[in-house]
Chain A
Amino acid sequence: MTFDDLHIGSILVSTVRNAPVLIFAGMAGLFAERSGVIDIGLEGKILASAFVSAAVAFATQNPWYGVMAGMLVSVLLATLQAYIAITQKGNQLVGGIAINIAMSGLTFVVAQYFFQQGGRTPDLGSARLFDVVLPGSAAIEGVPFVGWLYAHLIGGHSVLVYLAFALVPLVHWVIYHSRFGLRLRACGENPHAADAAGISVERQRYMAMLIAGVLCSFSGAYMSIVQSGFFLRDMSAGAGYLALTAMVFGNWRPLYTFLGCLMFGFFGAVQIQIEGVELPLVGRLPGSMIQMVPYVLTVIVLAGLMAKSVAPKALGTPFVKSR
């Protein structure tokens, strides 16, 4: 196997294209969990917003309406989660899992009811969000490396991809350098301290959940109206759990979470490339063995890094005023 066989360029582009689903959801989870609310319901929110985005984009033939509708639904679900976690002081894991399961069923039922295509929406056709072609791409295309870099790695993606990448420094700034972030972290770490400092823990957590809802919706919208061009039942395929994994992996910090998301995207792309290729030592692995590459690598990285993850201290515990 030579270096060329690996198609590094293709791997990188694929990494960039795959990462947004995880980045949006990962950042969503970050807001929720930094405020002290476990968000295992990312999966359900992604799925619901993927469906609604696609359905509305199809009905209106305008992808942006789709994105907005998806956002609305995702925010509604996040509010429900918040109501459970904050107002009802219920079990946050149960709430999240309930939403995941319910959405898996509901999206199918509704999609089937409206479109009669087996839980699928019709093809969005021109109502998809198309890739941005950077000006001058065609001209520079031929130049070795630089052309590829400009036209394919940096350019040639959907707006949502740029939004995802732009989000990372923004989230970092908000979490660490804004008043909102300071209060957010305090609520996740020691809500009693925040409360004593005159901060409404409940309000802060609600806001965090709303933001999580908004961010998560992009994940779903990206999936259905950018990547696929339609909605398919259960198309989130575990992305929510993977995003959560990236976040834990990243120790609840935006930049590291981002790296975790890229890592999954990267390993996934590597896995595609080495399928059917003669590998040194092991030779040609069956496709199904290759499928486990990203996950095995993740475990190795995790065990090797001695990633003693430190979750926000108050994560998962409803805030009750007396101690």
Chain B
Amino acid sequence: ADPKLGIVYDAGGKFDKSFNQSAFEGASRFKKETNINFIEVQASSDTQAEQVLRGLARKNLDLIASIGFAQQAAVQKVAKEFPKVRFVLIDGVAQGPNIESITFKEEEGSYLAGVAAAMASKSKKIGFIGGVDIPLIRTFSCGYAQGAKAVNGKIDVTANMVGTSAQAWNDPAKGGELARSQFDRGVDVVFAVAGGSGLGTLQTAKEKGKLAIGVDSNQNGLYPGTILTSMVKHVDMAVYDAFMQMKNGTWKAGVYSKGLKEGGVDWALDENNRKLITPEIEKRVMGARKDIIDGKVKVIDIRSGAACPV
């Protein structure tokens, strides 16, 4: 029989232009290919996460995908109560024989974005705009800076955060304003990691004729010609794979950290940004990519407690 599948988004909701949306896309692709449906719910608070996971588990679902670190504690708890139900936790780590935890090495993908930005920048000033100052976002920002400095030690990286509350992910005006301010200071490439607010950044870059870098999904197509590349984080693949494995009976519990090597993160090169990526840039980025995969370059992950080296 077809597996019974569920997906639980966190407070951002499935259209957050970030990992929730990416998860939704992965699940949708699975549905399209297999015609197997899935239940989807949004948990607006940590309390609700527990409630909804338990609710779905009671329905004897086979696999529940929990999107976002906010559900970590809930997954940990509910998985223990329902050993027969399997859980996929995205962006967080929980232990158990029925849990698959998937985290991403955002620092590696961001490193590539940093390399590309440093190469493309004429002013040698690049920018970063994050949603909220939390470890995840700092990981992006630090990886980005590492990549850029690897190209040019003197490059200047300006970082701004949109805000401090949940609203910070939905404030495109502020996202745009931060971009303007960075452009005024000479920045000519900006990396936006701020959900809906980041859309304001991309938009402003287009308006001002500067370059921007998208995040999470491939955003190159939003403003072809001004989006240098996107740092894609394959939450979609993770969800798709988990669903597929469930269907094929190959699903396994465990803790996985997916970087460039595992195909968890990458940079995006397609017809939309083909013209922007010169052969030199492409060569340099692909080189860095290979070095990381081969282990020749180690990108520091600040979440491990290390300070950002740059």
B170 and A235: CB pair below 8 A? yes
> Taking the nearest CB of chain A, how far is it from the CB of B177, in angstroms?
6
B181 and A230: CB pair below 8 A? no
Other-chain contact of A118, B16, B133, B171 (Cβ < 8 Å):
B16
B161 and A237: CB pair below 8 A? no
Closest to A226 in B: B173
Inside 8 A of A230's CB, which chain B residues have their CB?
A: 172, 199, 203
Cβ contacts B160-196/A at 8 Å (1 or 0 each):
1101100100111110111011001100000000001
> Taking the nearest CB of chain B, how far is it from the CB of A278, in angstroms?
13
A275 and B161: CB pair below 8 A? yes
C-alpha spacing A17/B133, complex, angstroms: 25
A227 and B185: CB pair below 8 A? no
A288 and B133: CB pair below 8 A? yes
Interface bracket on B: 20 to 34
C-alpha spacing A286/B132, complex, angstroms: 11
Other-chain contact of B21, A118, A227, A238, A275 (Cβ < 8 Å):
A118
- Most central of B163, B172, B173, B181 by chain A CB within 10 Å: B173
A276 and B159: CB pair below 8 A? yes
A273 and B181: CB pair below 8 A? yes
> Taking the nearest CB of chain A, how far is it from the CB of B138, in angstroms?
9
B133 and A9: CB pair below 8 A? no
Cβ contacts A193-230/B at 8 Å (1 or 0 each):
00000000000000000000000000000010001111
Closest to A229 in B: B203
C-alpha spacing A314/B118, complex, angstroms: 61
Inside 8 A of A235's CB, which chain B residues have their CB?
A: 170-173
Q: Assuming the A-B contacts A9-B184, A120-B15, are A232 and B159 also in contact, with contact meaning beta carbons closer than 8 angstroms in the complex?
A: no
Q: Assuming the A-B contacts A118-B13, A227-B173, A228-B203, are A291 and B184 also in contact, with contact meaning beta carbons closer than 8 angstroms in the complex?
A: no
Inside 8 A of B159's CB, which chain A residues have their CB?
A: 275-276, 287
A227 and B181: CB pair below 8 A? no
Inside 8 A of B174's CB, which chain A residues have their CB?
A: 237
B196 and A232: CB pair below 8 A? yes
Q: Does B130 contact A (CB under 8 A)?
A: yes
Other-chain contact of A276, B158, B176, B184, B196 (Cβ < 8 Å):
B158
C-alpha spacing A21/B185, complex, angstroms: 24
B160 and A118: CB pair below 8 A? no
Inside 8 A of B180's CB, which chain A residues have their CB?
A: 10, 13-14, 17
C-alpha spacing A128/B187, complex, angstroms: 25
- Most central of B167, B171, B172, B176 by chain A CB within 10 Å: B172
C-alpha spacing A238/B14, complex, angstroms: 23
Q: Assuming the A-B contacts A10-B181, A14-B177, A228-B203, are A287 and B170 also in contact, with contact meaning beta carbons closer than 8 angstroms in the complex?
A: no
Closest to A233 in B: B170
Q: Does A189 contact B (CB under 8 A)?
A: no
B196 and A7: CB pair below 8 A? no
Q: Assuming the A-B contacts A10-B181, A14-B181, A118-B21, are A288 and B199 also in contact, with contact meaning beta carbons closer than 8 angstroms in the complex?
A: no
C-alpha spacing A269/B184, complex, angstroms: 12
Inside 8 A of B15's CB, which chain A residues have their CB?
A: 117-120
Cβ contacts A260-281/B at 8 Å (1 or 0 each):
0000000011001101100000
Q: Assuming the A-B contacts A227-B172, A230-B172, A288-B164, are A269 and B181 also in contact, with contact meaning beta carbons closer than 8 angstroms in the complex?
A: yes
Closest to A124 in B: B203
B133 and A237: CB pair below 8 A? no
B185 and A18: CB pair below 8 A? no
C-alpha spacing A288/B159, complex, angstroms: 12
Closest to A238 in B: B167
A228 and B133: CB pair below 8 A? no
Q: Does B68 contact A (CB under 8 A)?
A: no
Q: Does B114 contact A (CB under 8 A)?
A: no
Inside 8 A of A119's CB, which chain B residues have their CB?
A: 13, 15
C-alpha spacing A275/B163, complex, angstroms: 12
Cβ contacts A294-308/B at 8 Å (1 or 0 each):
000000000000000
Q: Does A234 contact B (CB under 8 A)?
A: yes
> Taking the nearest CB of chain A, how far is it from the CB of B246, in angstroms?
26
C-alpha spacing A230/B155, complex, angstroms: 33
A118 and B170: CB pair below 8 A? no
C-alpha spacing A289/B132, complex, angstroms: 11
Q: Assuming the A-B contacts A7-B185, A288-B164, are A228 and B177 also in contact, with contact meaning beta carbons closer than 8 angstroms in the complex?
A: no
Inside 8 A of B178's CB, which chain A residues have their CB?
A: 272
> Taking the nearest CB of chain A, how far is it from the CB of B80, in angstroms?
33
A287 and B130: CB pair below 8 A? yes
Q: Does B6 contact A (CB under 8 A)?
A: no
Q: Does B200 contact A (CB under 8 A)?
A: yes
A223 and B185: CB pair below 8 A? no
**Can you name 18 extra interface pairs (CB under 8 A) apart from A14-B180, A228-B203, A287-B133?**
A13-B180, A18-B177, A118-B13, A123-B203, A229-B172, A229-B203, A232-B170, A233-B196, A235-B172, A237-B170, A238-B167, A269-B181, A272-B181, A275-B159, A287-B159, A287-B161, A288-B164, A290-B161
6 closest Cβ pairs, A-B complex:
A118-B15, A10-B184, A287-B161, A228-B172, A287-B133, A227-B173
Chain A interfacial positions (CB closer than 8 Å to B): 7, 9-10, 13-14, 17-18, 21, 117-120, 123, 223, 227-230, 232-235, 237-238, 268-269, 272-273, 275-276, 286-288, 290-292
Chain B interfacial positions (CB closer than 8 Å to A): 13-17, 21, 130, 132-133, 158-161, 163-164, 167, 170-174, 176-178, 180-181, 184-185, 196, 199-200, 203, 222
| 21 sampled A-B residue pairs with Cβ under 8 A | A7-B185, A10-B180, A14-B177, A14-B180, A118-B17, A223-B173, A227-B177, A228-B200, A230-B172, A230-B203, A233-B170, A234-B167, A235-B171, A272-B181, A273-B181, A286-B133, A287-B133, A287-B159, A288-B132, A288-B133, A288-B164
